[in-house]
């Protein structure tokens, strides 16, 4: 996930998107693709469904923009994409044939092992992510491992660290900032 070039979501951006400018199309699909993956993965359990929903959202957004020739308020493009995605998810929920409730005793596949992908991290980025994480202080690595890899109960983690839940978020915030610095530093090299 390289740092994306910054674009203003303004009339010019919308115009270039409608005109199928390759640079803007690439930015649009990458930027909102990542955000949609994050949003949809908590709502749809299957990666295939997440991908379907993303593509459906893109199609609807672009179709609407081309049909209308833009947005009345171009700076609300993000809100528009989000609302379209909500509609897509809602329709998927209503489609019993596509989204079936999982049985209570359903054993979710363990996705923690190396190689499990959830959408953001592609092969060439894994090395940089690994390097950036390796540079974190051991205490932060331990925290991330406990919470995200081992899936330990967060209250239990808090008890072990003798902190409250709010301070756990602060620790995560610090780890994230450090990770960001190292990750983009790796990118620069």
Partner 1 sequence: MTHTEAVANLASERYLLDEMTEAERDAFEAHYFDCVTCAEDVRVGALMQEGAKAGFTPALPTARVATFTPAARRTAAPPPEVVRQAWYRSAALPWAVAATLAVVVGYQSQSSVPGPEADGGVRAVPTLVLRPASRGTAPTVSLSAPHAALALDVDASGASDLAYDLKEQEGALITSGRGSAPPAGAPFLVVIPTFTLKPQQRYILSVRDASDSQRVLGDYHFTTAP
Binding site for partner 1 (CB under 8 A): 1, 6, 31-32, 34-35, 38-39, 42, 76, 78-79, 81-82, 86, 111-116, 118, 120-121, 125-126, 129-130, 132-134, 136-139, 141-142, 144-145, 147-149, 154, 160-162, 165-166, 168-170, 172-173, 175-176, 179-180, 183
The DSSP string of 1-55 is -PPPPP---SHHHHHHHHTT-HHHHHHHHHHHHHHHHHHHHTT-S-HHHHHHHHH
State the nearest-atom distance from the C-beta of 176 to partner 1, in Å: 5
Residue among 97 and 113 whose Cβ is closer to partner 1: 113
Of residues 49 and 168, the one with the C-beta less far from partner 1? 168
- Tell me how far, at minimum, the Cβ of 17 lies from partner 1, in Å: 16
**Cβ 94 to partner 1 shortest distance, Å:** 17
Measured over the CA atoms of residue 109, residue 171, residue 165 and residue 42, the dihedral's sign is: negative
Three-class SS of 113-147: CCCCCCCCCCHHHHHHHHHHHHCCCHHHHHHHHHH
């Amino acid at each position: 996930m390289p740092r994306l070039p910054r674009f203003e979501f303004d009339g010019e951006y919308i115009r270039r998107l409608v005109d199928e400018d390759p640079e803007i199309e690439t930015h649009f699909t990458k930027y909102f693709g990542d955000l949609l993956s994050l949003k949809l993965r908590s709502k749809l359990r299957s990666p295939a469904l997440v991908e379907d929903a993303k593509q459906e959202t893109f199609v609807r957004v672009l179709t609407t923009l081309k049909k209308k020739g833009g947005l009345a308020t171009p700076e609300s493009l993000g809100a528009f994409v989000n609302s379209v995605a909500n509609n897509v998810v809602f329709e998927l929920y209503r489609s019993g044939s596509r989204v079936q409730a999982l049985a209570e005793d359903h054993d979710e596949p363990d996705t923690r092992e190396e190689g499990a992908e959830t959408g953001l991290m592609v092969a060439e980025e894994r090395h940089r992510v690994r390097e950036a994480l390796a540079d974190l202080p051991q205490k932060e690595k331990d925290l991330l491992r406990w919470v995200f890899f081992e899936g330990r109960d967060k209250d239990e983690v808090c008890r072990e660290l003798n902190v409250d839940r709010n301070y756990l978020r602060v620790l995560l915030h610090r780890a994230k900032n450090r990770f960001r610095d190292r990750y983009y530093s790796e990118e620069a090299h």
